[in-house]
Structure 1
Amino acid sequence: MDMTGLPGTSKHIIFLLLCQLSASSRGDSCCVEKISYPDEASGPSLGPRDLSCYRVSGTDYECSWQYDGPEDNVAHFLWCCFAHPNPTHTSFGQECCCYFSSGRSRTVQFWEQDGISTLSKVNFWVESRLGNRTLKSQEISQYLYNWTKLTPPLGHIRVSRSRGELRMDWNVSDGAGAEVQLRRRMPTTNWTLGDCGPQVSSGLGVIGDIHGSSSESCLCPSENMAQEIQIRRRRRLSSGAPGGPWSNWSMSVCVPPEFLPQAEIKFLVEPLNQDGRRRLTMEGQTPQLAVPEGCRDRPGAQVKKHLVLVHMLACRCQARTWKTVPLGKTLDLSGAAYDLDVLAQTRFGRSIIQKWPLPAQELTETRTLNVIVEGNVTSMQWAAQPPGTAYCLEWQPWGQDRNHTDCTLIAPEEEDPAKMVTHTWSSKPTLDQEECYRITVFASKNPKNPMMWATVLSSYYFGGNVSRVGTPRHVSVRNHTEDSVSVEWTASQLSTCPGVLTQYVVRCEAEDGTWESELLVPPTKTQVTLNSLRSRVVYKVQVRADTAMLPGSWSRPQRFSVEVQISRLSIVFASLGSFASVLLVGSLGYIGLNRAAWHLCPPLPTPCGSTAVEFPGSQDKQAWQWRNPEDFPEVLYPRDALVVEMPRDRDDETESPQATPERALDTRWPLGTEGQVQGLSEARLPDLAREDCPRGDLAHVTLPLLLGDVTQGASVLGDLWWIHKTVEPGPPTLGQEA
């Protein structure tokens, strides 16, 4: 067993060591005979792989490879064999082999002085010796002179964003004709390969850190997540074929997302204090960004810092209206309106991640502002601040945007004995237009800092002729009660200007001069009631609108008088009473007339209720028929029956007609026996008409009361001809006398 652990290789190792010790140059002396030995099975996952050899610069060359296997006690050797190109050398045309030991390193650098041919084809392979084993890579054949490996972008890579794309620019100094690739990944994705295409040199470097360099660039899409980007380059021949291997990947370029997450910062504002400033504090946390693994310790993808941009919307005539402060700082601001923007500082600059408007706030106490307008000259006067204070005077029409705002800076002046500040101007803008203005005065000892202003005064002013414009219009009077009226009017135009209108004054007086009164009405009301007025007296009423500076003008007088009026409700009640009275009198009269008529003209008895037509009980079962219908007597109208009650003998044994029905006449009497019949009739008539009287000893005799003769020249019974016919009881037939 030799010292290397491989049979048949001891003499070659000794020869190589002697060559290295005795040679004066690295190239010629290391040319040895190629060693051949059986390959040891090491498995597909062990040993060197991906060997690549190339030129790095003019005379410098390099070989690199990958290795899979244990790193302890491993030694790598780079072998190369080629035909000796030197015709003066004794080994010209013969194969010459050299090797380079790299230890654990996977890269070997050499140059032309090492004796390796760069113009002819060279075979390379790597042997990795691990203990008593030797692992060998695959051989490659390469012309080193034309196979050049470019360097990746080593300097600063500038990144810009435009229209949803990222553009990366860098400087190179190794010539043109390269093609570029990139790979990128996000926190939730793996590497994605992208092609930047062939590069055309611009001849000028985009970054001034490398003198005489050219530039290359690459485009990739912008994302809403942080990205990690790396770039590599490869030489490209004029024919379009590759001229070398790909370079190593560049350092990672970290890019923040296109749209940063919104912050949730709370702004707490205190009321305006007596100094005209209010305190603003900030609470909350800024959002944290998710970044890829390679950007966790590198700048670029992270937000560098958070800021707050304070923009003062008032007093735009100052030198600077905005200032940037760190997030979380406590601020003391004036009562003006502000815009607060939370900014995130990234490699692309500042991005707004939250906007918050701070509205204006007025002083709670009233401070006097004197405004005097005389023609085209306007003067304002207010209380002075300590010496050395600058002022900013701002006025704008009420209800309009800030584009119509006028602003004037007033430099510090000497102290006024009256402790007043007076500002006068005679050119436009003037306050003589009939409209409402909002006037604000700010003060600061450091006017260059927009955060150092304080609100001194905030007031409203109505320009023009206030007395004429503020006169109430459309005054109307209406009756309220018997001795009072309600006076109403439309609101004055001064009421649209906050704080200008102080009160309304209503004056009422009698035209005869015997009475006069004035009432003060708050500016929010447009109605008042006048009491204790006399009827049939002519009054006149007027209204005016007063300001704090001067009284207004009276409106046109409205004349009226109070008349005694009857209520509609009383009229309704009176009408209802009259109607009820008429109805009651009519009802009573109708009832009285009905009673008087009943007593004066009693009603006649009805046939159904009279007993004049009653017959004996035995006759109820008899049917009577006329013998000769053509001799039918005249129709007799019903008459009342005459009832005669006679005393009855208790011993009378005479049977009632009901008991002896056979006594009824059933024969016709001849005309010659009229007298006999009459006598008989007179004798038997009481018996025929007698009935059993249920009322004791009185006999109830029913006699028909006949007024007038029935027929001319006929006896009573002579005309009563009939036939007695015994029939069964039943309803009476036609012609039966009831």
Structure 2
Amino acid sequence: MGCDTHFFFFFFGLFPLFSFNVFRSGDGVAEPRRWQRGSPGAVGLCVDPMGPLVTWVVPLLLLFLRSRQGAACRTSECCFQDPPYPDADSGSASGPRDLSCYRISSAGYECSWQYEGPTAGVSHFLRCCLSSGRCCYFAAGSATRLQFSDQAGVSVLHTVTLWVESWARNRTEKSPEVTLQLYTSVKYKPPLGDIKVSKLAGQLRMEWETPDNQVGAEVQFRHRTPSSSWKLGDCGPQDDDTESCLCPLEMNVAQEIQLRRRRLGSQGSSWSKWSSPVCVPPENPPQPQVRFSVEQLGRDGRRRLTLKEQPTQLELPEGCQGPAPGAEVTYQLQLHMLSCPCKAKATRTLPLEKMPYLSGAAYNVAVISSNRFGPGPNQTWYIPADTHTEPVALNISVGTNGTTMYWPARAQSTTYCIEWQPVGQEGSLATCNLTAPQDPDPAGMATYSWSRESGAMGQEKCYHITIFASAHPKKLTLWSTVLSTYHFGGNASAAGTPHHVSVKNHSLDSVSVDWAPSPLSTCPGVLKEYVVRCRDEDSNQVSEHPVQPTETQVTLSDLRAGVAYTVQVRADTAWLRGAWSQPQRFSIKVQVSDWFIFFASLGSFLSILLVGVLGYLGLNRATRHLCPPLPTPCASSAIQFPAGKETWQWINPVDFQEEASLQEALVVEMSWDKGERTELLEKAELPEGAPELALDTQLSLEDGDRCKAKVLRPSGPDGQGCNPARGVRG
């Protein structure tokens, strides 16, 4: 029986004890009223007491009535009473959203919703109105999910309307209403298990297995990037054991995708939960940008590879930042050992975080990027081989049966790889030989031999030899460098003979010997020295002079003039003496003293000078005898003035302007005796007013012999003649 029946039995059992009238409060009319559950009038009773007993019995009855009314609404049933909060919508933008109700089993149902806003102090109530108009509610407290059965008072075979009301801080917030038939509203499961992702015609294709007994569904997806919010998309109807969906593929950013399902053809049915995030990398993943450095080769023959710069990490959406992989780009380190191509394994892939140790060989180091679609763009760096050589660490002996090389051995059961390559052909593939695991010999050496028929290093050229060792040859990162050196193949003795030997005089007792560099000099560390041999052919004495391998010239001193010598040059290695070059014969001529040359030259010069002077004097004397001088006019008496003639009057040169400038130019040079001079002066007394004559007192003897003039007379019109007085000074 219900609570109303118990109440009425209790009420009418006490009715004989007192009498009272029930009426509506405020109208003052005693009138019997019908009491219905949930009716507002039930709480407005007024009692007219009939006696003192009634004054305390009636309040007890009212309290009992209200307690019985509260006990009637169980948490597992829908309460058909007014909710304990104001029935008014606050109109707030926040509140309950996305209500979904569905059948979860044959007799169980569930409703769930989302709440936006602060959750502190919020109480949720699921409201339900039947088709008859009666409404009830479930109190969910702070939870956003509620389950009930088909015995909770809610019709599951007919259409019902449900919504959520959230009450907090004296305000009520309501969700949108959902009208559906609960029994037919089955909630599908989201895509479970592995969702296969692939690219198809520039789009993203996702494929998964249909959950059991849920064939025929409508599928939706939503996706977002690190910088965008959710965007909703439709995958279309699905009606097969395998479902699929096409989504857009982002070019340069990662994206997060989620899927949900609901029953096909049931528009009012609830959607499933969103699936786990499907993280998708961009179509064009970023190029890895890293930088490496290699340390120096250590004593153990290994060097460490160090990563200087990490690749840029891809920005991921919020749901892809956890342990679930998919959108991230992973980087790996791939090693390719270029040296020793005859080894078992040449490549190895390692995590980028694990930096390996390398031998002194040449490597290609690649950073490989990969994502869920497969390999991405790569970047490769070339690490050259270590060029440090140890010329004294390798001993090579050449015999009639072949060539054998010795080097310091490593641990027992060590495999060696001997690699050789002609110098200058580093780009070509090197030749190598992998030895069987061997132990050190009693001297602690390891050996490798080859015959001439094998053709190994048979050409007369320089080879670069490198020996690698490993106790585990299949592990690429466990190889180490034993030694690296150079070797001249073929007949090094004959091939290393110097050519173009020449001898030049250096001084009176020394010569300079020059030669072209030996082909052995092209091999670093192979040529030990040059040896120059000089032999005296007269005494058959031989002397040898060592020369540094970097020099191609030497001076031989203390040689004797006029003696014949023979010189030869050879090139020696650390393990082999070279062959002598073709002999070059030379001698130093007897040299004459420099003083002798000087005096001989001086005597020749003086002899020539003396002959020239004597010839000149003799020529002058011959000229006087062969060509005597002509007679002069002064030697005749044609220029003498008669004694009886009148004395010639001098004319002042001032009267003749054209001859005024010749006054100082007239010079008379005469030679006479002292007596003649006195006589001439007596006869040549000038009249008064006549200018004085200025006679040159220095007359040459030769002119005086030619002209013995007694008186001074003027010259002819042409100014010619022998005139003792050539200058007149006035």
Give the TM-score normalised by the residue count of structure 2.
0.60
Shift in Å, 1:466: 1.8
CA RMSD of aligned residues (A): 6.4
Deviation of 1:134 after TM superposition, in Å, equals 5.1
The residue aligned with 2:526 is: 500
Quick check: 1:124 aligned with 2:124? Answer: no
2:141 corresponds, among 103, 109, 127, to 103
Instruction: State the match for 1:473 in structure 2.
Output: 499
Q: Which residue of the partner structure matches residue 232 of structure 1?
A: 259
Structure-2 separation of matches of 1:166 and 1:584:
120
* Equivalent of residue 249 in structure 2, options 217, 220, 239: 220
* Aligned pairs (5 A) from 1:116-195: 122-130=160-168, 135-142=173-180, 151-156=189-194, 171-173=209-211, 174-175=214-215, 178-186=218-226, 189-191=227-229, 193=231, 195=233
**Aligned residue for 2:430?**
405
> 1:199–1:216: 8 Å Cα contact kept in structure 2?
no
User: How far 1:493 moved relative to its partner?
Assistant: 1.6
Q: Equivalents in 1 of 2:716, 2:421: separation in Å?
A: 125
Closer, same or farther in 2 for the Cα pair 1:181/1:57, shift >3 Å?
farther
Distance 1:164 1:451, change over 3 A: farther
1:78-117 correspondence to structure 2 within 5 Å: 78-81=126-129, 83=131, 99-109=137-147
CA distance in 2, matches of 1:623, 1:514: 106
- Tell me the residue number matched to 1:634: none
Cα–Cα, structure 1 residues 111 and 455, in superposed 2: closer, same or farther, change >3 Å? same
Quote how far apart the aligned CAs of 1:530 are: 2.8
1:110 Cα deviation from its structure 2 partner: 5.9
* Post-superposition CA distance 1:88-143 (Å, at most 9, x none): xxxxxx56656544333334456778787778754333333458765444434456
Q: Single out whichever of 495-504 and 96-105 deviates more from structure 2.
A: 96-105
Could you tell me how far apart the structure 2 residues matched to 1:9 and 1:579 are?
167
Q: Deviations over 1:544-567 (max 9, x none)?
A: 222233322233333444457999
Deviation, 1:181, is: 3.0
Which residue is 1:437 aligned to? Answer: 463
Q: Which moved more, 1:395-404 or 1:338-347?
A: 338-347
Whole-Å Cα distance in 1 between the matches of residues 364 and 649 of structure 2? 123
| Alpha-carbon separation, structure 2, partners of 1:251 and 1:381 | 66
Deviation at 1:523, TM superposition (A): 1.7
Q: Which runs of 5+ in 1 are unaligned?
A: 84-93, 204-211, 602-612, 626-636, 649-681, 694-702, 711-737
Distance 1:161 1:470, change over 3 A: farther
SS of the counterpart of 1:687?
Answer: coil
Cα displacement (A) at 1:683:
14
Give, in angstroms, the shift of residue 531 of structure 1.
Answer: 3.0
Structure 1 residue 542 and structure 2 residue 568: aligned?
yes
Distance 1:284 1:249, change over 3 A: same
Change (3 A) 1:8 1:440: farther
The match for 1:357 is 383
- The corresponding residue for 2:90 is 42
**Shift of the alpha carbon at 1:38?**
9.8
Cα distance in 1, alignment partners of residues 268 and 693 from structure 2: 166
- State the partner residue of 2:550: 524
Alignment partner, residue 581 of structure 2: 555
Q: Residue by residue, what CA displacement relative to the aligned partner does 1:658-707 show, whole Å, maximum 9, x if unpaired?
A: xxxxxxxxxxxxxxxxxxxxxxxx999723526799xxxxxxxxx97235
Equivalents in 1 of 2:358, 2:136: separation in Å? Answer: 80
**Pair 1:556–1:33, CA change in 2 (3 A):** same
| Number of the residue aligned with 1:706 | 714
Identify the residue that residue 62 of structure 2 maps to in structure 1.
none
Q: Could you tell me how far 1:392 is from its partner in structure 2?
A: 3.3
1:462 corresponds to 2:488: yes
Give the match for residue 91 of structure 1. none
Q: Distance in 2 between matches of 1:382 and 1:68?
A: 80
Stretch of structure 1 that moved more, 519-528 or 122-131: 122-131
Q: Deviations over 1:337-363 (max 9, x none)?
A: 566778999988999899683742656
Shift of 1:469: 1.9
Q: Distance in 2 between matches of 1:534 and 1:622?
A: 96
Question: Could you tell me how far apart the structure 1 residues matched to 2:415 and 2:547 are?
Answer: 41
1:495 offset after TM fit, Å? 1.6
How much does 1:520 deviate? Answer: 2.0
Q: Does 1:392 align with 2:440?
A: no
Residue number in structure 2 paired with 1:656:
none
Per the alignment, residue 514 of structure 2 pairs with 488
- 1:76 and 2:124 equivalent? yes
1:9-48 → structure 2 map (5 Å cutoff): 40=88, 42-45=90-93, 47-48=95-96
Which stretch of structure 1 is more off in the superposition, 574-583 or 57-66? Answer: 574-583
CA distance in structure 2 between the aligned counterparts of 1:445 and 1:624, rounded to whole angstroms: 133
* 1:198-597 matches, cutoff 5 A: 198=236, 218=247, 220-221=249-250, 223=252, 227=254, 229-234=256-261, 248-252=273-277, 258-259=285-286, 262=289, 268-269=295-296, 272-273=298-299, 276-278=300-302, 280=304, 289=313, 298=323, 300=325, 313-320=338-345, 335-337=360-362, 357=383, 359-360=385-386, 362=388, 364=390, 366-372=392-398, 374=400, 378-382=403-407, 384=409, 387-401=412-426, 404-413=429-438, 416=441, 420-425=445-450, 428=454, 430-509=456-535, 514=540, 516-535=542-561, 537-563=563-589
Q: 1:177: Cα distance to partner?
A: 5.9
| Residues 1:55 and 1:46: Cα distance change in structure 2 (over 3 Å) | same
Percent identity of paired positions between Structure 1 and Structure 2 = 42
CA deviation profile, 1:279-335 (whole Å, cap 9, x unmatched):
649697867856655556546499999987776554444444567788898987655
* Contact 1:437/1:461 (<8 A) preserved: yes
After superposition, the C-alpha distances for 1:257-297 in whole angstroms (9 at most, x for unaligned) are 8448756676544x643xx4456496978678566555565
Counterparts of 1:162 and 1:489 in 2: how far apart (Å)?
A: 75
TM-score (normalised: structure 1): 0.60
Partner amino acid, structure 2, of 1:400:
Q
Give the match's secondary structure for 1:404: coil
Distance of aligned partners of 1:150 and 1:525 in 2 relative to their CA distance in 1, 3 Å threshold: farther
| 1:29-59 deviation line (CA, Å, top 9, x unaligned) | x697999x99635233365445455677898
> Cα gap change, 1:114/1:412 in structure 2, threshold over 3 Å: closer, same or farther?
same
Cα deviation per residue 1:708-736 (whole Å; 9 max; x = unaligned)?
799xxxxxxxxxxxxxxxxxxxxxxxxxx
Q: In structure 1, the residue corresponding to 2:511 is in which secondary structure?
A: strand
Aligned residue for 1:468, secondary structure, equals helix
The 8 Å contact of residues 101 and 112 in structure 2, kept in 1 or not, is answered as: yes
Deviation of 1:513 after TM superposition, in Å, equals: 5.9
> In structure 1, the residue corresponding to 2:517 is in which secondary structure?
coil
Cα-to-partner distance string for 1:144-190 (whole Å, 9 max, x where unaligned): 7887765444545567899999876655524466544342333xx34
Q: Distance in 1 between matches of 2:100 and 2:385?
A: 69
Question: Relative to structure 1, is the Cα distance of residues 401 and 215 closer, same or farther in structure 2, using a 3 angstrom cutoff?
Answer: farther
Tell me, in whole angstroms, the C-alpha distance in 2 between the residues paired with 1:416 and 1:683.
143
Residue by residue, what CA displacement relative to the aligned partner does 1:475-527 show, whole Å, maximum 9, x if unpaired?
Answer: 33333334433332222222222222222222333555655433222222222
Alignment: residue pair count:
601
Cα distance between partner residues in 1 of 2:116 and 2:439: 87
Q: Which runs of 5+ in 2 are unaligned?
A: 1-24, 26-34, 45-65, 631-647, 659-664, 671-676, 695-710, 719-729
Q: 1:664 corresponds to which residue?
A: none
